[in-house]
Structure 1
């Protein structure tokens, strides 16, 4: 009997590891696709008659679709299960990237971008909810951290792949990214089991509907607001840092590429291997508060940076802070709403997308007034958020999922 129990546990662990590995690769592919367009899309748009303003609108379109539809996909994963929603997102992702490679008019490019953003927004909340379903509370931060690391790796390899393949033709990177997703689909279909039983789906759907009807009144709203703040700050940083580095240290594409590759590697290390051990020792809320202070420190140090070493140090400190906040806040959202996790994470992604829509606009406008303004505002926001959490959100540091007071 003991040997049968041990064998059953071993099979369950093996299945979980296989599922996590498939999810890791899916999210890696999604972010490869997101990053692959960075070095080629400006040229692609110009070739189709676009300009800088149209490029900004094009980039915002993707975040807008995530803002509008991520909650829907999260609710759907609570209602019909995680697996079908993940498969929908993966298939849509593959098909739309193949379509990107086939467009010949600017309006077609926007149409495919809207479709891509709408369908790909299914993947992240369902995948994160899948991890939450298959991990214990002690392991959840590490599991979500691994998914974040997968996305970080995608953002490292995506631009490099796009730049290299773009030399062979501007459509080539899209065909490669889409083909990889379509090749992955049969493996996900075969080896990715559903994590919710029929009874579980019914119970989760009820909780999902309740959460959706009272977003602002929900106890999770502070975490949704944190996602908005974090992504707003990150988008301001991303929208202005290249210009800042070029102005302060005469950085060109080579130096910028090297710096962002190093930052991406740091994020992967923190989220992929360190965060699980840090959570076990300090707890998720402690990491969020530490991340806010580190982010504020990094943004303030950017004001005094003037060469590769100082810029890298400041940006690395900021990046470490952001890497601590993201997985920990997602973990708390699943722990404090142990039913309807897809809806919780979908809403969190939606709030994050709203930050990414507003951030570049505000950051760009402030940068025109003063190159230091975006980083001063970011520092102030991080410190203020830390103080609010420290003074008013004690409950998130106590027991999860409604246990305790």
Structure 2
């Protein structure tokens, strides 16, 4: 019963976190422009967040292994709220960058710690279900967040940031009162070599690489799809709203209802490979779409495939980490995910002006290479192996 309550609290926590993240998406560009920024400034501001997460997610994850999940999760939520307040109060561009840096540093404690918490309270057989539910919570947040942010933006560019701050701080209160510590005893700190010296020899390195490739492909898609749809099919905000709503529904249904059943029947590795195949086919076919229906079908393939991948990779990383390294392992995975979100938009923006199809061809090549990695370099990962 206590584990069910913890799962429910974490579901609500990640749902509210992603609502807060999504709320600011429609208004952040306008806020940057209002401070005499440019599209390049906006791109750098967005990248700053992922850069901070790249460096700090493994550190927070490792710290949660030593002192517990609950204090790190609370710190991440409170810091997330304070960073939104800084955004709302910002009157100059440099203040926006300070707020974004603070958000990237402190909020990067939230996701890896929440996923490590799931690993603490679930067994190997149920871990995919837990990871899938957390992915569904984040997907739901990203459906409702931007819509709410667009509505709140009518009352001023700063207003959505204050609402997001309130959600984060209320979230911290809920976590404080309702979420118990998942680690039963303090962990003994084992002296290890610096991370950089061990990373390439880490048994999970291929899984981290898969996480990077998936994130890179998704970031390519997210950073160019609106322009691609407008340039090729003449889509406007209405059509884009329909597409993203459909993709959001597929994401939630896949992660909440399909992932666990598929893993139990076919295994983690088979689900990851299937997700890569489906995602690569959908990604490659996007450039052939000539109308709304075709675009919905192909982007839905990509969405379903990528929705199978993230919980699957997270689950396998967790299964192949000993209990006192869960936070660090998930944190490193999130770091590789952040690296994909840094390089994906930069690559997409650079090649899109050369050829509108280029981001999708590059993404397809990366996903096909990921299929090769998953099929030929993951045999060491048994369903119950712990490294």
Q: Smaller-chain TM-score range?
A: over 0.9
User: Is this contact kept in 2: 1:36–1:160, CA < 8 A?
Assistant: yes
- Structure 2 residue aligned with 1:232, among 207, 212, 216? 216
- Structure 1 residue aligned with 2:63, among 76, 80, 84? 76
1:7-49, Cα deviation, whole Å (9 max, x unpaired):
xxxxxxx211111111112111221222112111111111111
- Indicate whether 1:253 and 2:240 are aligned: no
1:323-371, Cα deviation, whole Å (9 max, x unpaired):
0110011111111112301000000000110111011111112211111
1:86-105 matched pairs, under 5 angstroms? 86-105=73-92
Partner residue in 1 for 2:8: 21
1:131-150 matched pairs, under 5 angstroms? 131-150=118-137
Partner residue in 2 for 1:281: 265
Structure 1 residues 208 and 143: CA distance shift in structure 2, 3 A: farther
Partner residue in 2 for 1:345: 330
- Structure 1 residue aligned with 2:205, among 206, 210, 221? 221
Range with bigger deviation, 206-215 or 357-366: 206-215
SS in 2 for 1:128: helix
User: Is this contact kept in 1: 2:48–2:100, CA < 8 A?
Assistant: yes
**TM-score (norm: length of structure 2):** 0.96
In 2, Cα distance between the equivalents of 1:269 and 1:207? 42
**Displacement after TM superposition at 1:215 (Å):** 1.3
In 1, Cα distance between the equivalents of 2:168 and 2:9? 12
Partner residue in 2 for 1:329: 313
User: Is this contact kept in 2: 1:74–1:122, CA < 8 A?
Assistant: yes
- Indicate whether 1:64 and 2:48 are aligned: no
Gaps of 5+ in 1: 1-13
**Displacement after TM superposition at 1:209 (Å):** 7.0
Structure 1 residues 281 and 176: CA distance shift in structure 2, 3 A: same
- Indicate whether 1:388 and 2:369 are aligned: no
Partner residue in 2 for 1:400: 385
User: Is this contact kept in 2: 1:78–1:208, CA < 8 A?
Assistant: no
Structure 1 residues 60 and 180: CA distance shift in structure 2, 3 A: same
Structure 1 residues 290 and 165: CA distance shift in structure 2, 3 A: same
Partner residue in 2 for 1:366: 351
In 2, Cα distance between the equivalents of 1:187 and 1:235? 32
Range with bigger deviation, 29-38 or 87-96: 29-38
1:311-330 matched pairs, under 5 angstroms? 311-330=295-314
User: Is this contact kept in 2: 1:228–1:352, CA < 8 A?
Assistant: yes
1:357-400, Cα deviation, whole Å (9 max, x unpaired):
01111111221111111111111221122123212321225532
Superposed CA RMSD in Å reads: 1.5
1:258-285, Cα deviation, whole Å (9 max, x unpaired):
2111101110111112211111001111
**Displacement after TM superposition at 1:117 (Å):** 1.0
Gaps of 5+ in 2: none
- Structure 2 residue aligned with 1:310, among 291, 294, 311? 294
SS in 1 for 2:380: helix
Partner residue in 1 for 2:182: 195
In 1, Cα distance between the equivalents of 2:312 and 2:300? 19
User: Is this contact kept in 2: 1:86–1:122, CA < 8 A?
Assistant: yes
Structure 1 residues 58 and 292: CA distance shift in structure 2, 3 A: same
In 2, Cα distance between the equivalents of 1:143 and 1:248? 39
Range with bigger deviation, 364-373 or 205-214: 205-214
- Structure 2 residue aligned with 1:50, among 19, 37, 46? 37
In 2, Cα distance between the equivalents of 1:64 and 1:306? 36
Q: Which has the larger radius of gyration?
A: 1
User: Is this contact kept in 2: 1:146–1:271, CA < 8 A?
Assistant: yes
In 2, Cα distance between the equivalents of 1:207 and 1:327? 30
Range with bigger deviation, 91-100 or 66-75: 91-100
**Displacement after TM superposition at 1:186 (Å):** 2.1
Partner residue in 1 for 2:252: 268
**Displacement after TM superposition at 1:206 (Å):** 2.5
**Displacement after TM superposition at 1:85 (Å):** 0.4
